[in-house]
Structure 1
Amino acid sequence: MITTVEPATGRDPMRIALVLVVGMIMATLDQTIVNVAINKLSMEFHAGLSTIQWVATGYSLALGAVVPTSAWLVGRFGAKRLYLTAISAFAVGSVLAGLSWNIESLIAFRLLQGASGGLLMPVGMTILLRAAGPDRLGQLMSTLGLAILVGPLLGPVIGGYLIDEVSWRWMFFINLPLGALVLLLAVRVVPDDAPEPPRALDVRGLLLMSPGLALVIYGVTAAGESAGFATPAVLVPLLVGIGLIAAFVRRSLTISVPLLDLRVLGNRVTGTSAVLLAVFAGGYFGSMLLLPLYFQVVRGESALVAGALGIPFALASGVTMQVAGRLIDRIPPGRYLPASIMVALTGFVLFVIQLDADAPYWALCLTMVLMGAGGGGTLMPVMTTATRPLSREQQPAGSTVLNMISTTSMAIGTAVASVTLGALLPVTGGLQALHAMTADQRAELAPALADAFQHTYLIAPVMIALALVPALLLPRR
């Protein structure tokens, strides 16, 4: 949620925006760098894919859980102090993650990273609006968009190099000098502010939502390990999680100051856009775990090469995102969004069709351009479409709800993709068994491994195709 006050004087808003960009790049680097490391982490900790995926899923869940509390925290502690604390906590969490001694400790420290990283964007936007005022916000927000472009572009490549040539631990340690640089600049550039009387925080809602989501995802991953849902280890967490989420939804619709104001979804355009976002984000982001794994497990590439081969995807997504914001202001959403979704769907379908053990890289990269362009052209415009019909007072709440939907869908999509792939791998023991094989044994198994990835990748185009349904229901004028 963004707090609007009079613009601060005496500080250049562009300098403030550039400092915030460096902080956000640190968080987006870390979010994308881990996907390249999944195979290495599985090998290092002797853990299966359903367990290792919590390194990414736990980060997303923690990130989403903390976003609704950002407005209360800004009021309680002040924007600058909270931002400096979040940067410091993220750097400390990164160092602890690099020092992890087992998979459980790594997941725990990733939760700390996600909780602190989730504050950087909403608190940074509050700082920027206070410094510049609403008149210059559009220009400065486009500057913040650099983080969305640079992080996913450089993260997999830097991470791949560190994993191959140094150590997987350095993909976390690298955040320490970055965090120190951001702290030094922010102390000097970001204007001071005083805490304000915060609104009430719905603690009960927070205690219902976060454990509920975690239990549902745990139930899904446990179902993959148990090859079904008909066991207490699966049913109990799944039903308890669903019950907690249902209680959270009921509470959000009945109390005056909820953690998430779900009543904004009562607007037809906002509700329809939210459904579109949930389905599209689940398929789109869920598939991101698979791409570097395919290049490493099936094609035998290094982490660096796997990261570099993802550049067309990230570059197309970031560049298209910069253009899409202008297009959605000119073209009705009911016409623009179906076309953008079709671009993504075409890319994913072509990618799945040719995904085998010998697919030429140039052809895969061409389809990745379509995949990335369709994703970058859809995600921000659907957020704009969802918040546009809301009143000025409702827009911060709507933005928070939509960000929560996006991060939750990302976590669920990642969990479902990893569980599905783990179940389809043609070896008993999953990734651990593959790590124990010789290069010749893995090469002989490559066609069957490619089939497993191909069938898992089908989840993405199916969900993206389903997103066309709500997109076609949006206004065409």
Structure 2
Amino acid sequence: MTAPPTGGTRAADAPISWPVWRLALVMAFGAFMSQLDTSVVNVGLGTIATDLGAGLGDAQWVANGYLIALGLSLPACGWLVRRYGAGPVWLASLGGFTLTSGLCALAGDIGWLVAFRVAQGLTAGLLLPAGQTVLGQAVGAHRLGRVMATLGIAVTLAPALGPALGGVLLHLGPWPWLFLVNLPLGALALYLGVRHVPRDRPAVRPASLDWPGLLLVAAGVPLLIYGLSAWGARGVSSGGSGSGFGGALGPVAAGALALAAFARHARRTAHPVLDLRLFANPAYAAATATAALTGAAMFGATLLFPLYFQLGRDTGVTGTGLALIPLGLGTALLLPVSGRLVDRFGGGIVSVYGGLAAVATTVPFALLRMDMNPAVVEGLLLLRGMALALAVTPAGIAAYQAVAPEQLADATTQVNILQRLGGALGGTVFAVVLTARLPLGVEGAFHTAFGWLTAASVLSLAGAVWLTAAQRRGRRAEGG
């Protein structure tokens, strides 16, 4: 399969029924909860450490444990969907996420809180790829852009709103409210899910679970994410001296070796836990590479922009959260348009124009003074958010459109893994570059860091050009 043909087709323009839109909204509800939880809880780590009598380093594992657990559960999602069906997996993970949110609120010490956060992360890691699979199976490839954009709105708005919501919750009550807020949301999502999410089980039972492959991927992905994140964090604490890499080298090397061992294992296994044969499809390979590159540029920037406001513009935590809302708002506003464009013209060409806009809206931060007018800053963030709607989401959609329906569970899992790895790498690079330059001056440090972000955006643009070429070759091959 390839992307939709260039120009409007009857399939791409066909209306989408209300039951499908309703299903997309339910899936978006679950994605919003899991994405919101990360940024809301991170705001309260200092308060949690104080109230539970723990050090800030111990409290940091409340965040790290969650992220590592996300990487642990992701590799199993494809097999679980093939075994039990996408709808049942989504409902079970949502129920588990809601239950563990309540357990986190009841934790009496930091050890129990970290343990419950790990359990919460294991369930949250399944929500987004299982939800994407549900939607892909419901709508079909040529209308996938419009409904996937609904999920994209939830995924981009949640991190933007999270810091501000976390600050409000901590102002109104104690830290358990950071988790209790998930209970009414989860109950409502479960009610809607039980009513509207299809629970069809696959007609053909999959092969037995590839345990050796699962263990290799489930070890490699979290180790890489943790090692890269630790490198960035220790680079900050060491003042950018570079000494922070020593403690992160072991996890990074072990994670890379585990994933290399899995790639070797997958070639020799009839039914690996992740089907790497999908990468033989040029359009899929280009789309996933572009998704990883855009993940590095987008998620890495989520580290850079808060520091820009806090260190460069002397803005508090709550003020920073409010100042970043235009970034998520711009993405949310344009995603419906982005999805329709993907259905009509294909994800590659849409990502190209989005990549150009992302570069254009990043360059000013690398050149202009730190004390530029706040209205100019907010306007640039709004425009950059719109650019990301055209650059990031279309690449993932193009990957899903490039595979057959029975391969969708593997595709959603692989794209999510690569985006998380790309995001961890981007965050690390920008953190190390920034802290290495800070002793020489704040403004110069941020100019350099945003220069690197511009370079990452250019790499994402190159990936989008590659994807466009691969899609065009695929259409010519089908036509010829």
1:136-151 equivalence runs, <5 A: 141=148, 143-148=150-155, 150-151=157-158
1:300-311 equivalence runs, <5 A: 300-311=314-325
Q: Which has the larger displacement, 309-318 or 203-212? A: 203-212
Q: Which has the larger displacement, 417-426 or 111-120? A: 417-426
1:287 maps to which of 288, 294, 301: 301
1:399 maps to which of 389, 395, 412: 412
1:409 maps to which of 422, 428, 451: 422
Match of 2:367, SS state, is helix
2:264 maps to which of 250, 260, 264: 250
CA distance in 2, matches of 1:230, 1:143: 39
User: CA 1:343 to 1:109, structure 2 compared with 1: closer, same or farther past 3 Å?
Assistant: farther
2:458 maps to which of 439, 457, 465: 465
CA distance in 2, matches of 1:463, 1:42: 35
Q: Does the 8 Å CA contact 2:400/2:408 hold for their aligned counterparts?
A: yes
CA distance in 2, matches of 1:389, 1:134: 8
Query: TM-score, normalised to structure 2's length?
Result: 0.77
| Deviation for aligned residue 1:327 | 2.0
1:440-459 equivalence runs, <5 A: 448-449=441-442, 451-459=444-452
The aligned counterpart of 1:3 is none
User: CA 1:102 to 1:276, structure 2 compared with 1: closer, same or farther past 3 Å?
Assistant: farther
Counterpart amino acid of residue 199 in structure 1: A
User: CA 1:236 to 1:194, structure 2 compared with 1: closer, same or farther past 3 Å?
Assistant: closer
Does residue 364 (structure 1) correspond to residue 377 (structure 2)? The answer is yes
2:101 maps to which of 86, 94, 102: 94
Counterpart amino acid of residue 253 in structure 1: R
Does residue 376 (structure 1) correspond to residue 384 (structure 2)? The answer is no
| Deviation for aligned residue 1:288 | 0.5
C-alpha deviations, 1:35-67, integer Å up to 9, x for none?
Answer: 65577778886547xx87765565444334423
| Deviation for aligned residue 1:404 | 1.8
1:124 maps to which of 115, 118, 131: 131
Q: Does the 8 Å CA contact 2:71/2:221 hold for their aligned counterparts?
A: no
Structure 1 unaligned blocks of 5 or more: 1-10, 427-446
The aligned counterpart of 1:436 is none
CA distance in 2, matches of 1:266, 1:127: 24
1:328-339 equivalence runs, <5 A: 328-331=342-345, 335-339=349-353
1:261 maps to which of 275, 281, 284: 275
Q: Which has the larger displacement, 14-23 or 189-198? A: 189-198
1:44-63 equivalence runs, <5 A: 47=56, 58-63=65-70
User: CA 1:209 to 1:355, structure 2 compared with 1: closer, same or farther past 3 Å?
Assistant: farther
Q: Which has the larger displacement, 258-267 or 227-236? A: 227-236
CA distance in 1, matches of 2:368, 2:61: 29
CA distance in 2, matches of 1:68, 1:159: 30
User: CA 1:376 to 1:36, structure 2 compared with 1: closer, same or farther past 3 Å?
Assistant: farther
Does residue 216 (structure 1) correspond to residue 230 (structure 2)? The answer is no
Q: Does the 8 Å CA contact 2:130/2:409 hold for their aligned counterparts?
A: no
CA distance in 2, matches of 1:149, 1:169: 24
Aligned residues: 444
Q: Which has the larger displacement, 195-204 or 374-383? A: 195-204
Please provide the CA RMSD for this pair. Answer: 3.8
| Deviation for aligned residue 1:405 | 0.9
| Deviation for aligned residue 1:235 | 3.9
Structure 2 unaligned blocks of 5 or more: 1-17, 473-480
Q: Does the 8 Å CA contact 1:343/1:371 hold for their aligned counterparts?
A: yes
| Deviation for aligned residue 1:247 | 0.3
C-alpha deviations, 1:123-148, integer Å up to 9, x for none?
Answer: 33555577788898777555545534
Identity of aligned residues (%): 36
CA distance in 2, matches of 1:235, 1:124: 35
Q: Does the 8 Å CA contact 2:150/2:336 hold for their aligned counterparts?
A: no
| Deviation for aligned residue 1:217 | 4.0
Match of 1:122, SS state, is helix
| Deviation for aligned residue 1:455 | 3.8
The aligned counterpart of 1:174 is 181
1:69 maps to which of 69, 72, 76: 76
| Deviation for aligned residue 1:211 | 2.0
User: CA 1:342 to 1:276, structure 2 compared with 1: closer, same or farther past 3 Å?
Assistant: same
The aligned counterpart of 1:28 is 35
CA distance in 1, matches of 2:112, 2:408: 38
The aligned counterpart of 1:318 is 332
User: CA 1:15 to 1:334, structure 2 compared with 1: closer, same or farther past 3 Å?
Assistant: closer
The aligned counterpart of 2:214 is 206
Query: TM-score, normalised to structure 1's length?
Result: 0.78
Does residue 113 (structure 1) correspond to residue 120 (structure 2)? The answer is yes
CA distance in 2, matches of 1:348, 1:135: 32
Match of 1:473, SS state, is helix
